[in-house]
Structure 1
């Protein structure tokens, strides 16, 4: 926060690079043009990682990199010529920013006054409210939103300016108030929470704020508190404007849900002038920014004109095209992807650099050890899954988990995979923690640039459930814990709990397209043909694999499930819920690894859990030894499978019935239809619930069968089977699993209860 304001961040970065080039020889320090280009690119990549929300920085780096590349390609170019070109371009950026701000101020002042006069003919002056700091201290000079206020004052059209203090960092009271007093503008400072009251008294004519990033649809990220101002302005019929240069627009992002949000040091909230003022031990959520949807924004003021809202959206991309300004890579926003497969500025961490990353961030470092202790921290990479790298970092004060997503599948480097999955995981974990905090780890930090999250460390005796089950352990509370987690998170994100508007916003937020495509391929497609990535125990399962590729009923059933998987958007799913996604002790269960989160069929999450408990059951026969019999564990596995289903159904029904009875249900749980006062309401609700759970069990079993099959015939196997060292014993366990898996896939409607499934499993095994 030493440098703040998106334009100022970009200009400071550009000028810092220029100063370094001058101070270290002006380019003569490089032996060639190529060496200069490479050194400049490395510096720019590093600078971009500092502030991921402010897109101006990334754009400035991209343009300076292009300047270096172009000059390096010139015949006879040298390190000196490349450095001079970059220095000149950085200086031009500063001058262009000042000119753009003044032009933006005039455009904004004219737009505000035109609307005011249209509403109140004869109106000569405006009373303006602004937030954060967007003036000379946040730009090269003059300012963006504050530039609009300055322009109104210079033209004699400013009646009064109000600035919020902008908690918790007080940019408004420390910086904006200073600039207003310095320039002699009529101004008043208010606390953030007084804005609505000021509007209610009719003392605000328009609100104008800045932006750190603007998505293609006009959704805008700005200092925390901006969204509240926009909501209050809409309530009071006050026009709300964004003022920002076009360098703040990121057309690669389809909407604001993909904008990375930095989180600040908790001490900004808990301390004042170094003294703690909040209760010790209280958790803190301190986001630096929020996102205002375009539906609340009257228009975006740029140096090229006003981009007006039409039909609750703002066609930012269309405006850029009209102005000939769409010179940035699209990164596939029109195809539903908001980040490239390899994010600019991304660098993969290792056991050494992950320590440096944490040590540079005080709020994270203090969770591991006191200042200066990082040399003693212990790091180990524990990502035993197929997708990501996971580091556990421990020190004198505790530990954290750092999870980073690379632009490919870990077990198949030639299989690209969007790194945006990390954002989906962070968002999903936070949403699930809201609904079921006792079974979800805390997320401390999300870094969009490096595609990583920092989470709560679950120390021993916590263990990955799959690994523990393979070793022969049991967890007495697993059924209750998983039933609670699934019921609360699936109910709470469904139309049984949500209104239509909130539900549709959730669908837009979790469009995890590439990850879903991966699931669709490996579960519902690959096992049923000779996919190049398939593998199985050979030669023991060769004939069975061939049979599945020619199995018409299995293919038909898998395709029908795939259709429901793609078409049903019932709730926010974990998406990859299995025993490898659980950290357990005798008394606790935590659900991790939510990068597959998406809105889909409720049965998929539940079915995956059923499948993985059955996988552990089948594998136990191959893992059993004279020294370690597994009969008791097997009895527990089938019992926990049945108990989990019944407890899940009971909890889900209870939440559903309570929502109807208390009148706070969603679109599918309306008290006017199903409540006690509705004609036949209670009977209707019970009939609806019975039908829902009959169909849900059918689909759960179908998905369970498909998951069992893919874990044996597809690309990604599991340690349950792989730990069986005797190949023939492993194949025997897998053959039984495939038989049961096919029964569940093809004949799911024939099983009227979970007990019927257990009976079938035991019969086939015998």
Structure 2
């Protein structure tokens, strides 16, 4: 900067006018900012100098010499302020490091400390003393520095070229190490604290700094070493809520592939060379500024309050300081809700994901869509020149309700593990998962690109899918059989029950399926007033309440297999040839009939909705689809039973529920009788569960678009009334007592059920 100032001073007289000088200064400062766009304080300093220049140029009698002189004077004052700021920071930082080291029982016998730093933050990077290196200088001035370690800071070697020079120049006891040696040095007990600088600190304490900083923070966390950030308040950006919003610049690939102008890396290899990374605020012991340490409350940084009290920041219009701090609280603990902008930078910072979308330099050209049309989560599609990804993030509440209905984010872990279980036994019908981020409650997976679409949308549009029944049968049989005690020994079976204990999601199901539709509840809604009398009848129906209570007991107390838990037409994606099952966040160990019935009930709801769609498109226009739906319901059930029985014959003796010593060999009379009893009970429960699912989608909190998309309210109500009455019939009359009692009562077979559905639809 000093060279530029002298050049400016000498050139002042050469400018033809004050405006010409102003234009030159603005252009030069703008170019300077591009050298380090992540560094918020560089942009701040340049903006301040531009403001000085503009004021000087706008003054009466302004001249080029006057404009240049004003900028030089302001820059020299800035220089003096920066040195004073750095020295204050050094004093605050030295005290904080010594206190943290002492609290951890670290340091040498003489009370001295061994400190590691990264990149260059000294006189060559600042005005003349340094930020993080200023803390080390302050420790040395107090006689408290035992040793300083600096990393080489690959790939540009700022540590080896600059920091090592400064340490040697000041004759400080110091050692240069490779970046990759830092963890080993910590493990050897040679590091008491780490202090680094920052290019940007955001509202939750996340800090962007030279690449390699995050690795140091993680290593410090592992070894119990305090990790500090030293940065002026001009580096703090309270407007950015989390580190995911920081744009990380990519540097030239030749820094990695070449040495002294000669290529050392193989031709054709891709290079990912970010200039910075982001250390999470949760890993940072303290943030040192020239105004003191940023305060913490309950372990969370109060950055916005700190900057507000200094008069350096104001909350957005209409938001209180308390609300502003509250909005970053979750992020302090590793979670931050992403949006269509920040999700791009999340992907770009993770090479396994970034490589599927496009080069990091292309990130601003990527497109993002939020496509989650469910009631619970957000789903982002990120597309770039190399491809696309689907990313699903779970917020800590029910999306369609809001923060008044909190919901566990552990459902993301359960969903990820359930997808792995399902993919292991039925990979052709489960999308590949590329990443599970526990802290961010996020899954990244294969994007099922068009012509894939949500099954429900295709059905509403009138489509049919010739392979759907066989695909659903295969998925249901494989996922349910292989996780049951028919296949597993009871030790493994109980371990899996514990693994998939999904209490909050199950309690949600118990509330919205088994309770609320049958009582007066705020969440309920229906087509009113057309269905008011029908709903009143349902909510005073003793037989329905007895039947739904019996089903709830099965849901709560019969852990037969790992269920998808929410297998409806909105959680299946299809093409003419493929079927992919997604979204098992409700996965838990429960009665097998629950999964089987849920998808069949959703197909049945579509069947009953077709009269309403025909009202707009013309009578008979959906007849072929109507016939296909009933055939798909029948074939899904029969195909599931056949596939499950085949797996049982092939693998059943391995499990403890029906051991071969008891059941005998496949094809034997005993096993045949056990299977017949099992499927008879499963059928009866499936019929009843189908009724429960139909009812909840017409009366409860979450409906289906099959019905809701019928614009004419009377036509919609007519479809819903037929479906509601048939759902009640399934629920109540479907109760049987197993094979001996003819489970399914009035529905002895799926053929009988399909015929009854056709009759109900025509009534």
Superposition TM-score, scaled by structure 2 size: 0.58
Deviations 1:623-682 (A, max 9, x none): 11228800000000000000000000000000011014xx5x2112422223439xxx82
Task: Determine if contact 1:342/1:407 at 8 Å carries over to the other structure.
Answer: no
Counterpart residue number, 1:482: 472
Checking the alignment, whether the CA contact within 8 Å between 2:664 and 2:670 is kept in structure 1 is: no
2:406 to 412, 416, 429: 416
1:654 maps to 2:646: yes
Deviation of residue 344 (structure 1)? 2.6
Contact 1:428–1:574 under 8 Å retained in 2 = yes
Distance in 2 separating the partners of 1:754 and 1:703: 14
Return the offset for 1:371.
3.0
1:377-413 deviations in Å (ceiling 9; x for gaps): 1111101111111111111111000111111111111
Cα offset for 1:533? 0.9
Instruction: Tell me by how many angstroms 1:99 deviates.
Output: 3.9
2:635 maps to which residue?
643
Q: 1:100 to 1:477 in 2, by over 3 A?
A: farther
Paired position in structure 1 for 2:16? none
Rate the CA distance shift 1:627–1:736 in 2: closer, same or farther, 3 A: closer
| Alpha-carbon distance in structure 2 between the residues aligned to 1:441 and 1:501 | 29
Change (3 A) 1:371 1:458: same
> Equivalents in 2 of 1:354, 1:174: separation in Å?
32
Q: Is the 8 A contact 1:441 1:455 kept in 2?
A: yes
Change (3 A) 1:456 1:657: same
Q: Which residue of 1 aligns with 2:336?
A: 347
1:266 matched to which residue of 2? Answer: none
CA deviations on 1:518-557 (whole Å, 9 max, x unpaired) are 0000000000011011100000000111111100000010
1:739 maps to: 725
- 2:601 and 2:90 map into 1 onto residues whose CA distance is 60
- 2:683 is aligned to 697
C-alpha distance 539-505 of structure 1, shift in aligned 2 (>3 A): same
How big is the shift at 1:98?
5.4
Given the superposition, is the C-alpha separation of residues 400 and 713 from structure 1 closer, same or farther in structure 2, using an over 3 Å criterion?
same
1:549 to 539, 563, 573: 539
- Distance in 2, matches of 1:720 and 1:491, equals 31
User: 2-side partners of 1:21 and 1:91: how far apart?
Assistant: 29
CA contact (8 A) 2:187 2:223 kept: no
- Matching of residues 270-349 of structure 1 within 5 Å: 344-349=333-338
C-alpha separation between the residues in 2 aligned to 1:275 and 1:697?
Answer: 62
3-state secondary structure, aligned to 2:570: helix
Which of 445, 452, 458 is the equivalent residue of 1:462?
A: 452
Specify whether residues 374 and 658 from structure 1 end up closer, same or farther in structure 2 by C-alpha distance, changes over 3 A only.
same
Q: Give the corresponding residue for 1:427.
A: 417
Structure 1 Cα separation of the partners of residues 378 and 445 of structure 2: 14
Q: Is the 8 A contact 2:501 2:588 kept in 1?
A: yes
Contact 1:343 1:449 (C-alpha < 8 Å) held by counterparts: no
CA contact (8 A) 1:561 1:703 kept: yes
Segment of structure 1 superposing worse, 360-369 or 418-427: 418-427
Alignment-derived partner of residue 621 in structure 2 = 629
Question: Kindly tell me: are residues 347 and 179 of structure 1, through their superposed partners in 2, closer, same or farther at Cα, counting changes over 3 Å?
Answer: closer
8 A Cα contact 2:186 2:223, kept in partner: no
SS in 2 for 1:450: coil
Alignment of 1:397-546 (within 5 A): 397-413=386-402, 414-546=404-536
Classify 1:714/1:81 alpha carbon distance in 2 versus 1 (closer, same or farther; 3 Å): farther
Aligned to 2:118: none
Secondary structure of 1:580's aligned partner:
coil
Query: Within 5 A, what are the aligned runs for 1:597-616?
Result: 597-616=587-606
Cα deviation for residue 345 of structure 1 reads 3.1
The secondary structure found in structure 2 opposite 1:403 is strand
Structure 1 residue ranges without an equivalent (≥5) = 1-19, 26-79, 103-139, 142-170, 184-242, 248-272, 281-326, 330-339
* Counterparts of 1:358 and 1:176, CA distance in 2: 26
Maintained 8 Å contact 1:341/1:407? no
Structure 2 counterpart of 1:760: 756
Q: Structure 1 length as normaliser, TM-score?
A: 0.58
Give the superposition deviation at 1:274.
6.8
Find the aligned partners of 1:24 and 1:90 in 2 and give their Cα distance: 29
What secondary structure sits across from 2:361 in the alignment? coil
Give me the whole-angstrom Cα distance separating, in 1, the residues matched to 2:108 and 2:268. Answer: 39
SS of 2:420's partner is helix
Distance 1:710 1:97, change over 3 A: same
Q: Which has the larger radius of gyration?
A: 2
The equivalent position to 2:699 in structure 1, one of 713, 719, 723, is: 713
Aligned residue pairs, count:
483
Alignment partners' CA distance in 2, 1:614 and 1:498: 33
Aligned residue in 1 for 2:366: 377
Offset from partner CA, 1:272-294 (integer Å, 9 cap, x none): x977999x9xxxxxxxxxxxxxx
Aligned-pair CA distance for 1:89: 4.8
Tell which deviates more after alignment, 540-549 or 174-183: 174-183
Query: Would the alpha carbon gap of residues 520 and 179 (structure 1) be closer, same or farther in structure 2, given more than 3 Å must change?
Result: closer
1:363 equivalenced with 2:314 (yes/no): no
After superposition, residues 132-281 of structure 1 pair within 5 angstroms as none
Query: Which of 379, 384, 389 in structure 2 is aligned with 1:390?
Result: 379
Q: Check whether the contact 1:495–1:571 (CA below 8 A) recurs between aligned residues.
A: yes
The answer on whether the counterparts of 1:101 and 1:245 sit within 8 Å (CA) in structure 2 is no
Q: Distance in 2 between matches of 1:694 and 1:574?
A: 22
Counterpart Cα distance in 2 of 1:341 and 1:699: 42
Find the aligned partners of 1:367 and 1:463 in 2 and give their Cα distance: 21
| One of 564, 582, 592 as aligned partner of 2:582 | 592
Q: Secondary structure at the match of 1:372?
A: helix
Sort the Cα spacing of 1:182 and 1:455 in 2 relative to 1 into closer, same or farther, 3 A: closer
Residue 729 of structure 1: aligned partner: 715
Q: What is the CA–CA distance in structure 1 between the aligned matches of 2:350 and 2:527, rounded to whole Å?
A: 47
Residue in structure 2 matched with residue 571 of structure 1 by the alignment: 561
Q: Summarize the Cα distance change of 1:557–1:181 in structure 2 as closer, same or farther, 3 Å threshold.
A: closer
Report if the CA contact (8 A) 2:665-2:671 is conserved: no
Match in the other structure for 1:9: none
Could you say if the C-alpha distance between residues 342 and 427 of structure 1 is closer, same or farther in structure 2, counting changes exceeding 3 Å?
Answer: farther
Task: Give me the whole-angstrom Cα distance separating, in 1, the residues matched to 2:431 and 2:417.
Answer: 13
Match of 1:317?
none
Partner residue, 1:146 = none
Report the CA distance shift for 1:726/1:509 in structure 2 as closer, same or farther (over 3 A).
same
